[in-house]
Amino acid sequence: MNDVWKFHSAGSILFGHGSITQLPNVIQKFEANQIVIITDPGITRAGILDQAIQVLKKADIKPVIYDQAVPEPTMSSVLSCFSHLQPYQPDLLVALGGGSCIDLAKITSLLLTYGGHPSDYYGENKVPGKVRPVIAIPTTAGTGSEVSPVAVVTDDKSNLKVGISDHHLRPEVALLDPGLTLKLPAFITACTGIDALSQAIEAYFAKDYRYLHGQENLIYQGSNPTSDLFAEKAIRLIAPNLPIAVHQGDNLEARSNMLLGNLYSALAFTNSGTSLIHALAYPIAEKTKKAHGEIIGVLLPYVMEYNAAVCPEKFARIAEFLGEPSELPQQEKTVRSVEAVFRLLKVLGLPTKLSEIGIKNEQIGEIVESALSIERLVRINPRTPNVKDTAALLAKAL
């Protein structure tokens, strides 16, 4: 029984340059009466919405367009999308954009199917059953929302980001076309890409699923043999391709490898879970309002160093995945895994210190308290963090 593990994904995954032209085929399989595309003004400006509309026009498919999604969905943006679309009663939702559009489509689908308020579904396993199908077409390579069971919204009362996590929220189809990511600005590429790398590293060093035995209903089960496979491949793809995608945005090969690496990262972490890095990132985001990936990037090497003490063999392998020589002694490789991440952050032009993103020493206590209270993340961390250690870790990162 200790060896039983499970693995979840989106219903199906379609990947490849030009795969957007397959959208009509994908849509027709659902035999939907009313289709809606949920997107945002940045996607419209980049010409991506028009590209999708032209493809659908050829197949005589005329969707309703909702193009007012906002980055990092707020509660009011979710409610206004829902009230705009409710009269149309769409039975198929196409999310075209980054994690924000995909998450908005997931929550809108949930509300269209079961009614209520988003807060009714906060937490894990609160969705009663299947929701109206979502086809997710990501235009960033970073969140993994296209295969994930999560939708994130900023709660209007607490002003904190909250997640709705349920396997029913995994999209029916993830359609990934690297051509759609070519115009993603360099800074967003860097931030989303380092987040994807962190998610893969966190998935790989996550507690082993056997430690979570007896908690089979939890969405995040710790690492398992399949999540490890995807995490390894994700790290191997993202580490060399991210600097190229940032500095040569129109390099299709690098963009393609990033989108694939991000997909693999998501297949890994949406089963195993993320941990202390993401737990610390939430209170820091509340204080700094900095981009999620920027915060994750700063935390990544310090939390790696902290965790390496309890599973050095995993970090020696991570060093190899990051391109370090395999013949070095384990201890040397463990150290190099952290150094490789620092080097990558520098090449990407991302900060490596918390002070660079505006965190002050006197804020550390509050951040630690808030982060350690996020039990669903902290429980996956291989080293059980206490207040003293976590404060010391942050002081080092300052």
Which residues of this protein are in contact with ligand NAD, per CB under 6 A? 40, 42-43, 46, 71-73, 97-101, 103, 139-140, 142-145, 148, 150-152, 161, 180-181, 183-184, 188, 192, 292
Per DSSP, the chain holds a count of helices (H) and strands (E) of: 15, 9
Residue nearest to ligand NAD (CB): 42
Angle at 192 between CA 276 and CA 49, to 5 degrees: 140
Maximum alpha-carbon separation in the chain: 64
Angle between helix axes 225-247 and 252-272 (nearest 10 degrees) is 150
**From CA 239, how far away is CA 304, in angstroms rounded?**
16
State which residue, 151 or 368, has the beta carbon closest to ligand NAD: 151
| Residue 137 beta carbon to ligand NAD: minimum distance, rounded to whole angstroms | 10
- Coil, strand or helix: which one is 145? coil
| Residue 191 beta carbon to ligand NAD: minimum distance, rounded to whole angstroms | 7
CA 335, 341, 347, 351: dihedral to nearest 10 degrees? -110
Beta strands in the chain (DSSP E): 12-15, 35-38, 64-66, 92-97, 123-124, 134-138, 150-154, 161-165, 173-176
State which residue, 145 or 241, has the beta carbon closest to ligand NAD: 145
| Residue 292 beta carbon to ligand NAD: minimum distance, rounded to whole angstroms | 6
State which residue, 254 or 319, has the beta carbon closest to ligand NAD: 254
State which residue, 124 or 324, has the beta carbon closest to ligand NAD: 124
| Residue 69 beta carbon to ligand NAD: minimum distance, rounded to whole angstroms | 8
State which residue, 66 or 315, has the beta carbon closest to ligand NAD: 66
| Residue 276 beta carbon to ligand NAD: minimum distance, rounded to whole angstroms | 16
State which residue, 71 or 312, has the beta carbon closest to ligand NAD: 71
| Residue 57 beta carbon to ligand NAD: minimum distance, rounded to whole angstroms | 21
